[in-house]
Amino acid sequence: MSTPAEAPPSLLQRAVWAAEEELGDRNPKLWLVLTFIGWLPPFTFSRLRMRLLRLIGVPIGAETVVCGRISISGAPHAQRSLRIGSGCFINEGCRFETGAPIRLGDRVYVGHDVTFLTTTHEVTAHDQRCGPRTMAPVTVGDGAWIGTRSLVLPGVDIGAGAVVAAGAVVAGSVAPDTLVGGVPAKALRSL
């Protein structure tokens, strides 16, 4: 006696399988909060943004202002790897990729569209240059100022009171009280 053939999976079941494969164990609370924050007009409702970010687990110090849409991505609970100190100012369009921790000290000012990356890849043989993924934390010291559209790469420590000029690509650590700028960023002067 033969067994009846199984019916092929329904369109709904295939959609559920595809969603599970694509999303894995990502954090829908984070996506929901970031989407809602993105709908708010820039430079308004900063207290609401802060409360929502704290509600989903982003440690943020007192008197910090988040001015608009930001992006937090990385590990399944990416928001737990980002720490923002007290009295900071995070401008519109900033991106925090938290494969490893990102720590902003107190009174750190971050310009528009700044990107903090903690993940990169090793360079391997010519048949596939993009090798295994590597991660390193990023730390920004108290009182630092990161200029508009700067890119801070994995493993960078930006010292207290340092200034990163707009558009800089920070590939190496920055000494305290130093102005850096350029691609790649180089020390321009002591402050």
The residues that are catalytic are: 121
Cα–Cα dist 40/87, whole Å: 21
The answer to whether the peptide bond before residue 9 is cis (omega within 30 degrees of 0) is no
- Cα-based distances in Å from 70 to 20, 31, 86, 114, 189: 25, 11, 18, 10, 31
Which amino acid, one-letter code, is at 100?
A
Structure tokens at 87: 């009295």
- Report whether 152 contacts 184 (CB < 8 A): no
Structure tokens at 140: 């920004």
Which amino acid, one-letter code, is at 186?
K
179, containing H or E segment: strand 178-181
Cα–Cα dist 82/31, whole Å: 15
Cα–Cα dist 134/154, whole Å: 9
